[in-house]
Amino acid sequence: MNEEIDCPVDLVMVNENKVRLVALLVLFITVIFLLTSLWYLIAFLAIDFFLRAFKWGNYSLLGIVADQIVYLLKIKNKPVDRAPKRFAAGMGLVITCGILLLLLFDFKITAGLLATVLIFFAFLESVLGFCAGCYVYSLGKKLFGKR
């Protein structure tokens, strides 16, 4: 099945362990949102996803916190291509903006369901090291792209 998967590539390496820590922070913040309904947590995530998706990751607060955790715990660098992670951040941006729009129009249950999807993807990345972004990217290319 991996032969059918097509990931974006930009040949810029990032630390996969840092990426997984960021995903864990996204998971925690989204769970807190589900427990408290504090919309500004999702707004914060949307801004952070925006920064990471559009190459301003150095300004990402979650990235800065993850850098500090990596440094303090002396977690080793595990190089991985940045492009799939940027694509996944773009998908996170779409999901968080969707949640905010649903909340704006008072569709709280649907917003909660979409937040659960975000938690699921963050869990896959942070705990299992599985980036669903490549699968979504491949599906998108099959549906909308030229082969």
Asked if the model's pLDDT at residue 8 lies above 90, the reply is no
Tell me the mean pLDDT in the region 70-85.
95
* Res 116: pLDDT: 98
- Cβ–Cβ contacts within 10 Å for residue 46, how many? 19
Q: In whole angstroms, what is the distance from residue 35 CA to residue 113 CA?
A: 13
* Res 1: pLDDT: 43
Q: How far is CA 16 from CA 35, 40, 71, in A?
A: 29, 27, 14
Domain ranges of the chain: 2-139
CB 108 within 8 A of CB 9: no
Between 75 and 142, residue with greater pLDDT: 75
Task: Report the chain's terminal Cα–Cα distance, integer Å.
Answer: 17
The mean of the pLDDT values for the chain is: 92
Q: Which amino acid is at 78?
A: K
Q: In whole angstroms, what is the distance from residue 147 CA to residue 133 CA?
A: 19
- Cβ–Cβ contacts within 10 Å for residue 43, how many? 15
* Res 146: pLDDT: 58
What is the C-alpha R_g of the chain?
A: 15
25-73 per-position pLDDT tens digit: 999 999 999 999 999 999 999 999 999 999 899 999 999 999 999 999 9
